[in-house]
Amino acid sequence: MSNRLKVTPNDLSAFWMPFTANRQFKQAPRMFVSAKDMHYTTSDGRKVLDGTAGLWCVTAGHCRPKITEAIQHQAAELDYAPAFQMGHPIVFELANRLVDLAPKGMDHVFFTNSGSESVETALKMAIAYHRVKGEGARTRLIGRERGYHGVNFGGISVGGIVTNRKMFGTLLGGVDHMPHTHLPEKNAFSKGVPEYGAELANELERIVALHDASTIAAVIVEPVAGSTGVILPPKGYLQKLREICTKHGILLIFDEVITGFGRLGAPFAADYFGVTPDIMTTAKGVSNGVIPMGAVFVQKEIHDAFMTGPEHMIEFFHGYTYSGNPIACAAALGTLDTYKEEGLLTRGEELAPYWEDALHSLKDEPHVIDIRNIGLIGAIELAPIAGSPTKRAFSAFVKAFERGALIRTTGDIIALSPPLIITKGQINELIDHVREVLRAID
Ligand code: PXG
Ligand code: PLP
């Protein structure tokens, strides 16, 4: 422990940190050394309330005994088994448990190690599915402006976040984008899903008319866009997308990496909105963020379309060394047990009204230009400092950390997504931290 506390800037240079202002961080590092339930402990011994479930992933809270024990036991029993042409029991057990939890008809699951890999897997499945069905011309992929689908080439190609795309060349060909659904002039301070904007789904018809449906494999959207700053689907929007996709034989992929596993108060956003996609990508909450894992759920019809050639042949030339890694499976089973025992996959529904009221109590605080919420997700959008976008929100992040709360910021938006074990008292505490921070920053 003591060694870990003695970090100096010199020790920090080797690690090129992901999505981090490296030079700024290394001048004034922020370090966590332990965590339990709703709190982290920093290297200087302070408790910090986790307002973000890590990076939206520690859904059941930190260092939960069932998960820790499952990992410890599995590590001593079977540490690794080859993922290709070999199996081990708990990966099948986990697949069955997940399929039981998934929306009806999503009977099969493919394992990955992250949300980014889940997205690549889903996109490849969609294109290959059409090909095995004899519609090999369906190769186009449609994403959405401001969408986040991880950082691999397929994901940034269908994604719509400019900073994540502009440095990396021409990306995948044959990709188009629908417009995002953020309409602050009409929907600011909406509680839950906003009233206006369902007609934006009709933009998909325009794209279909341009390219012809026979060239389009799939549409991928986040049911609720998280990483881009929490953008909600307008009332009726997802239903419309579903109808248009079905009409044209286009697969609908829901990227549920953030919304999966209870974040909205239902197991999946598909359940919450009553719209079932053809493919659903997940990660994060599947293993409580403790061991990397992702899972792609597919409708029976898609899976079965691949099960046709000679039986000794591999049906889908895709997979990862660590697909269904035994220790990750153990972590996921421990996670599912914890969710079940504590009713966490629906706890968000009970807490959502309280959460909504608490968040919207910030409406008249300095800099606030919009507040958005759904399930246990909240966003507080701040007016940017003229000429210095993101600076105000970043100061809020640093101040909140100093005061004892972990929040996330993206652009000038504060995004909150606490573990689903949060109490009402801790919701008050988190919102009070944000209130004090807003009053303290320039
Ligand atoms: N799809 C969606 C919808 C996501 O939100 C990914 C794919 C990629 O997952 P991996 O496991 O490869 O990171 C994500 C990840 C944030 C934040 O603060 C969001 C994500 C990751 C890190 C930070 O908004 N989303
Ligand atoms: N690069 C090389 C040289 C490899 O041998 C492999 C896997 O065998 C990979 C990349 C892919 O690694 P993973 O299966 O962990 O995604």
The mean pLDDT values, 10 residues at a time, for the chain of 442 residues are 51 94 94 97 96 98 98 98 97 98 98 98 98 98 98 98 96 98 97 97 98 98 97 98 98 98 98 98 98 98 97 97 98 98 98 98 98 98 96 97 97 98 98 98 95
| Closest ligand 1 atom number to CA of residue 228 | 24
Whether 397 lines ligand 1, by a CB cut-off of 6 Å, is no
Q: Residue 212 is encoded by which pair of tokens?
A: 């012809």
CA 321 / ligand 2 centre spacing (Å): 7
Residue 87 neighbours by CB under 8 Å, 6+ apart: 81
Distance separating alpha carbons of residues 166 and 3, to the nearest angstrom:
40
Q: In this structure, what DSSP letter does residue 219 have? A: E
Calculate ∠ Cα 95-99-103, nearest 5°: 155
Beta pairing class for 251-255 and 413-416? unpaired
Cβ atoms < 10 Å from Cβ of 7: 14
CB 49 within 8 A of CB 403: no
The two beta strands, 408-410 and 405-406, are unpaired
The C-alpha angle 376, 298, 349, rounded to 5 degrees, equals 20
Spatial contact of 67 and 338, defined as CB atoms under 8 Å apart: yes
Residue 323 alpha carbon, nearest atom of ligand 2: 14
The response to whether residue 320 sits with its C-beta less than 6 Å from ligand 2 reads yes
Residue 161 · residue 227 · CB < 8 Å: yes
CA 77 / ligand 1 centre spacing (Å): 31
Asked whether 293 and 111 are in contact (CB, 8 A), the reply is: yes
Query: Which ligand is nearest to the Cα of residue 397, counting in written order?
Result: 1
Whole-Å CA distances, 337 to 50, 64, 98, 261, 287: 22, 11, 12, 12, 11
**Closest CA to ligand 2's atom 6:** 321
| Tokens read off for 112 | 């990955």
Half-sphere exposure of 169 (CA within 13 A, CB side): 6
Q: How far is CA 255 from CA 63, 100, 118, 296, in A?
A: 27, 19, 9, 9
pTM score: 0.96
Would you state the pLDDT for residue 165?
96
* Distance between Cα 115 and ligand 1 center (Å): 6
- What pLDDT does residue 7 have? 52
| Per-residue pLDDT, 1 | 42
Mutational test site, ligand 2, from 113, 153, 321, 325, max ligand atoms within 8 Å of CB: 321
Sign for the CA dihedral angle at 130, 131, 136, 142 comes to positive
The response to whether residue 80 sits with its C-beta less than 6 Å from ligand 2 reads: no
Do 55 and 417 touch, CB atoms closer than 8 A? Answer: no
CA distance 357 to 352: 9
Q: How far apart are CA 36 and CA 343, in angstroms?
A: 19
Q: Which of 359, 400, 350 is nearest to 380 (CA)?
A: 359
Does residue 296's CB lie within 6 angstroms of at least one atom of ligand 1?
A: no
Residues in the chain: 442
C-alpha dihedral sign at 70, 94, 315, 267: negative
Report the pLDDT value the prediction gives residue 2, as an integer from 0 to 100: 44
Ligand 2 centroid–CA 364 distance in Å is: 52
